[in-house]
């Protein structure tokens, strides 16, 4: 192989990699400038979806004459705390409101002699399934429970997603309204089980 053949083969072997690297270096800044916009579009879509889902849950609860303002004094107090928390930590308020709802659901299940398998991969789904299997919640309330769970999961698992203070307060209100339906029933049923 002579020098000219060697150089010709070397140039043809390196032409595409060099062109690709050069193209990347030339387009790097414009492409990187587009990425935040793409991320923002996704986040905006998610925020819009959250707001839409929250309004759907609100319509479900407004159509339900059984769901009233929270009557349980402890839940009302907790609702005020969470509403205040929403001002500086909207995501935290949503997560805490879910814990209140989950606790009320667990209390209702335990009042009916049900125990939970905490080794389950999806304890939230298990709680909802048990509430349904034992007819402890009406279908409309189960729908609200699952919709609230879905919104909680979106808030918990999407790092760059932010919700507004108002959205957080609305979630807190809806979650505690449903929890309020469970707490009195759970407390009443627990007393009946203990005395009966």
CA distance 188 to 136: 13
Instruction: Return the percentage of the chain with pLDDT > 70, whole number.
Output: 78
Query: Taken in order 135, 141, 143, 147, is the CA torsion positive or negative?
Result: negative
- The structure tokens listed for 148 are 């609230």
| C-alpha–C-alpha distance, residues 163 and 52, integer Å | 12
CA distances from 190 to 78, 99, 179 (A): 22, 20, 16
Q: What is the pLDDT of residues 49-98, one digit of tens each?
A: 777 777 878 777 776 555 555 556 777 788 889 889 999 999 999 999 99
Q: How confident is the model at residue 188 (pLDDT cuts 50, 70, 90)?
A: very low
Cα–Cα distance measured from residue 26 to residue 109, given in angstroms and rounded to the nearest whole number: 62
CA distance 137 to 142: 6
Give the predicted TM-score (pTM) of the model.
0.65
pLDDT in tens, 8-34: 888 888 888 888 888 878 887 877 676
pLDDT for the residue 186: 45
How many whole angstroms separate alpha carbon 152 and alpha carbon 93? Answer: 10
């Amino acid at each position: 192989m002579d020098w000219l053949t060697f150089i010709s083969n070397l140039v043809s072997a390196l032409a595409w990699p060099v062109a690709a690297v050069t193209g990347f270096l030339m387009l790097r800044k414009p492409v990187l400038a587009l990425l935040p916009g793409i991320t923002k579009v996704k986040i905006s879509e998610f925020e819009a979806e959250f707001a839409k889902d929250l309004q759907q849950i609100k319509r479900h609860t407004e159509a339900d004459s059984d769901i009233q303002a929270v009557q349980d004094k402890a839940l009302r107090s907790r609702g005020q705390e969470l509403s205040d928390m929403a001002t500086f930590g909207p995501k935290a308020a949503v997560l805490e409101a879910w814990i209140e709802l989950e606790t009320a659901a667990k209390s209702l299940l335990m009042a009916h002699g049900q125990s939970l398998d905490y080794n389950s991969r999806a304890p939230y789904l298990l709680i909802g399934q048990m509430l349904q299997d034992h007819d402890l919640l009406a279908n409309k309330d189960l729908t609200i429970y699952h919709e609230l769970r879905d919104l909680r999961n979106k808030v918990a698992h999407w790092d760059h997603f932010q919700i507004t203070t108002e959205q957080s307060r609305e979630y807190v209100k809806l979650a505690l309204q449903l929890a309020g339906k469970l707490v009195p029933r759970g407390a009443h049923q627990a007393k009946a089980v203990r005395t009966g």
